Each structure stands twice: as structure tokens, then as C-alpha cells.
Amino acid sequence: MAKGTNQKLKLIYLMKIMLEKTDDKHGLSLAEIITELERYEVTAERKSLLDMMQKPVR
């Protein structure tokens, strides 16, 4: 399933991006999130990000 060496870190990088670049008044679009992930050499598709963000936390 992982396509690159950093794919397993995608969720951690996503958390880092959200903590550093968003707050209650400032969000990011999916395109911006994908661009930010690319800086960590992580590829992501819009649908996979939506699926990941909609999963319930257990």
C-alpha cells in the first residue's frame, strides 16, 4: 500500500502540518495540504486524505 519511503509517516506529517499551519480562524484546503505533504516527500490523493480524516478515532 505504501508507495514511498515516507508514506508510513503520512499521518504524523499531517498532524504536524495541521498543528503548525492551522488554528480556529485559519484552515488549509486539500490542495494546500497535499502541497505541504510533498515537502516531506509524501504523496497523497484528495480521496485518501478525506478518508483518513473521516475515520473515527479508537
Domain ranges of the chain: 7-54
Contacts of 45 (CB under 8 A, 6+ apart): 34
Question: Could you tell me how far CA 18 lies from the centroid of its own chain?
Answer: 8
Question: What is residue 6's predicted lDDT score, i.e. its pLDDT?
Answer: 80
Helix/strand/coil for 7: helix
- The reported pTM is 0.79
Residue 57: C-alpha distances to residues 3, 32, 54 (Å): 24, 24, 9
- List the chain pLDDT tens, one digit each, 58 residues: 456 678 889 989 999 999 999 999 999 999 999 999 999 999 999 998 988 888 777 7
Contacts of 58 (CB under 8 A, 6+ apart): none
